[in-house]
Amino acid sequence: MRILVVDDELVSRLKAWKILSEFGECQMAKDGVEALERIQQAYEEKRPYELLTLDIKMPDIDGLEALKTVREWEHARGVMLGDGVKILMLSVSHGPTEVLKAFQGGCESYIYKPFNRDDLLEVLVKLNLVGKPVVADGK
């Protein structure tokens, strides 16, 4: 799985990268501008990302604008909604307006910061990007 973690906050970016690297080829972008460049390049190379994490509050191009742009690119390429990159919003913003805008814009999931490995794993399972983890029964 190809993953792009986008966050202007270094600690959050590194934390998500470290966790998600367990599940595939994981790259990082420090803002929406860099993210859109990487995503465009991935489309051109015919190696699109399967998971994109976006922070909402970023300078220049925020997560909601990046989300909108990605979905427009997919639409222009004939990618049906639901068949493109899975987009997970990771944000400190708990406001219902941002959450609603994110889902209206086409994200598949939304996690509030701070997050942990279990939070991310739960979303990966829900989005069918990884199988449900097997829990040892102690025998």
Q: What is the pLDDT of residues 56-71, one digit of tens each?
A: 999 999 999 999 999 9
Q: Work out the burial of residue 104: count CB atoms within 10 Å of its CB; fewer than 13 is exposed, 13-18 middle, 19 or more buried.
A: exposed
Task: For CA atoms 86, 119, 112, 57, give the dihedral sign.
Answer: negative
Q: Which of 35, 39, 31, 37 is nearest to 12 (CA)?
A: 31
User: The pTM is what?
Assistant: 0.91
Distance CA 99, CA 21 (A): 26
Q: Catalogue all structural domains in the chain, each as residue range(s) with its CATH number.
A: 2-126 (3.40.50.2300)
In the prediction, which pLDDT does 136 show? Answer: 56
CB-based contacts of 98: which residues, under 8 Å, 6+ apart?
A: 56, 64, 91
Amino acid at position 90, single letter: L
61: Cα within 13 Å, side-chain hemisphere? 17
pLDDT in tens, the chain (139 residues): 999 999 999 999 999 999 999 999 999 999 999 999 999 999 999 999 999 999 999 999 999 999 999 999 999 989 887 899 999 999 887 778 888 999 999 999 999 999 999 999 999 999 999 987 755 554 4
Q: Which of 7, 3, 1, 4 is nearest to 115 (CA)?
A: 7
